[in-house]
Chains A and B, each alone.
Chain A
């Protein structure tokens, strides 16, 4: 298995809702990442997990809460989002802390719309 699987592919949520995005990989990668991408912009890093511990938080608002239950799974919990949080949320993984032996593998993303 050489893929990063993200679910759901599309999500529409209200500003008072709580939802979660899920990311899964079975490549034995020990680093996992969340990126946010607005239309026609490059991906922006949100969080980095290394060996199941949060190693980087790029000053992301607390309404986004990451969780890494095990080495294969990464969640992003969403609460009280704003319409401007609508974006494509991308998950990625890499073999070690930074992809020295290869690149990051990205999922196809969850397209989130906040109404």
Chain B
């Protein structure tokens, strides 16, 4: 699976958009981009995933560049409850040997 690079930490004011970047320059054609977050002492929570096109759900939007070498997770109106570690993961989901390998993630601190 391709490796990802994320900034170790970011701050965001409550109510503003949080834009979390991720570089995955070695991503291959059949690998998806997944985003998870982990609030302190809880299990990771799935947020969103995509292959090529931009994706949006009730939690967030995922913007993938045309060359697929980077992506951005957007939380449109961050709240204090969005404070967490955010993980960007690339993985090929096919076959019985697929797996999610977590990197070090971005610690997002949302402040008043």
Contact = CB atoms under 8 A, between A and B. Distances in A.
Q: Do A and B come from the same complex? A: yes
Nearest to B92: A98
B99 A43 contact: no
Contact of B44 (A43, A48, A51): A43
Given A43-B44, A90-B43, A108-B42, A98 B104 contact: no
Contact of A104 (B32, B94, B100, B105): B100
B102 A43 contact: yes
A12 interface: no
B96 A51 contact: yes
A56 B96 CA distance: 8
Contacts of B85: 42
B44 A90 contact: yes
B5 to A, nearest CB: 14
B82 to A, nearest CB: 17
A42 B102 contact: yes
Interface in A72-101: 88, 90, 92, 96-100
Give chain B's interface secondary structure class: loop
Given A48-B97, A48-B99, A98-B91, A103 B46 contact: yes
A4 B98 CA distance: 19
Chain A interface size band reads 20 to 34
A97 B43 contact: no
B100 A55 contact: no
A106 B91 CA distance: 17
A33 B45 contact: no
A50 B44 contact: no
B100 A45 contact: yes
A109 B43 contact: yes
B104 to A, nearest CB: 6
A105 to B, nearest CB: 7
